[in-house]
Structure 1
Amino acid sequence: MTSVKKLLDGKAVSAVWSVTPDTTVIDTLHFMSEKNIGAVVVLDEERLAGIFSERDYARKGIIQGRKAKSTPIGEVMTEHVFTVSSDMGIQECMKLFSEKKIRHLPVVDQGRVVGVLSIGDIVNSIMSEQRQHIQFLEHYITNA
């Protein structure tokens, strides 16, 4: 089974994109668009303060009449963030995604955010593992 660390090491972009709690919603949305990401971690210094996603903007921002130009992320971010560590397996991540109905998981080691996994990262990893198993079995059957 693939570990979170192995999955992070294989990602094309390993940077942790973040904003601070006082960054405005509009600046964060521009940043997310520029980086082509659906969520961004919110760091207060090095401490994980929350996570902000497009869903947060829809539910806590625009629907509640908040102005994107003047609202700080700290007011609309999700403060209770589910996290994983790099030594966990992807099956545990999939369970969190499913049970908590979330799409992004910050990876935290020794109190520091070292990466972010999306549900797409996990699905792609599982599909890759399955392809490898199928190839192994096909090779085994044809050479038996």
Structure 2
Amino acid sequence: MATKIRDIMTGSPTSVSPELDIVTVARAMRDEDIGAVLVAEGDDLKGLVTDRDLVIRGLAAGGDPSQSKIGGIASSVTATVGPDDSLDKAAQIMRERSVRRLPVIEDGRPVGIVSIGDLAIEEDSGSALADISAARSNG
């Protein structure tokens, strides 16, 4: 059983510039079949954008998504974990901060993302959340 974040995280996370438009990022997320991207300038993590952010803060807010910058809708990163942190630490942070994803930072740069689904699969592979998280995308 995995005990460290590095054992379950999604490595090599997709990062985008805060200057990219919402449509370009949405297409990248679709093409890569991912639900979140990190927003960064170089190794400097600026935020995180989920597919839900695209809808709620991007499309539903009005305006032209091909002109709106992704940096304007990114959620600020309130917490991170390191690759050698425990799964329990990640779960505790997610619970305390009410977040579903945490960037994984090593030597000051993003190296992965760990999600509540990743934890569910590892901790209780028979749970409904684990089943949903492990299932192939229907998109």
The bucket for the TM-score relative to the shorter chain is: 0.7 to 0.9
1:40–1:51 contact (8 Å) kept in structure 2? yes
Q: Aligned equivalents of 1:94 and 1:79: distance in 2?
A: 19
Q: Does 1:4 align with 2:5?
A: yes
Unmatched 5+ stretches in structure 1: 129-144
Who is 1:112 aligned against?
A: 109
Which structure shows the higher helix fraction? 1
The count of residues paired between Structure 1 and Structure 2 equals 124
Who is 1:17 aligned against?
A: 14
Runs of 4+ off more than 4 Å: none
Task: State how 1:31-42 maps to structure 2 within 5 Å.
Answer: 31-42=28-39
Who is 1:51 aligned against?
A: 48
1:51–1:81 contact (8 Å) kept in structure 2? no
Unmatched 5+ stretches in structure 2: 126-139
Q: So what's the TM-score if we normalise by structure 1?
A: 0.78
Q: Aligned equivalents of 2:6 and 2:17: distance in 1?
A: 25
Q: Does 1:92 align with 2:92?
A: no
CA displacement 1:47-87 (0-9 Å, x = unmatched): 11111112212221222213211111111111234211112
Percent identity reads 28
Pick aligned residue for 1:76 from 73, 77, 83: 73
Larger C-alpha radius of gyration, 1 or 2?
A: 1
Q: Aligned equivalents of 1:82 and 1:120: distance in 2?
A: 17
Q: Secondary structure at the match of 1:105?
A: strand
Letter in 2 for 1:55: R
Structure 1 residues 127 and 51: CA distance shift in structure 2, 3 A: same
Q: So what's the TM-score if we normalise by structure 2?
A: 0.81
